Structure 1
Amino acid sequence: MPGLLDKRRENRDEASIPTAGMADIAFLLLIFFLVTTTINVDTGIGMTLPPKLKPDQKPP
């Protein structure tokens, strides 16, 4: 019986996933996301600064 099982295993082909086009798809997706992304530029925090002190004034 062990000989019969060994022959069955030899006749099976290994299942494989074709990966030739996978790199192309990855690069196309990368380019797509780079082109369609919107970049928000930080404008900073709006602040009201106190007026400048004159040289003869003391700081509060």
Structure 2
Amino acid sequence: MIGPFEVLVFAFVIFVVLGPRRISRMTRSTIRGAGDFLDQIGRPKEGELGEEEERRP
């Protein structure tokens, strides 16, 4: 079973190996990719009106 100490050691090793700059770039690209995915599955973008909102006078 993995405990909290092992998780902290793993996170520290990843931080040392990859470095803070690469980790921040990976985080940004992951968030951007998640946003693109949600846009593709049908979440309306800001400024777009849904079908129901367009019909209202």
Interval of TM-score (by shorter of Structure 1 and Structure 2):
0.3 to 0.5
Q: Which has the higher contact order (CA 8 A, sep 6+)?
A: 2
Give the structure-2-normalised TM-score.
0.36
Give the structure-1-normalised TM-score.
0.35
Larger helix percent: 2
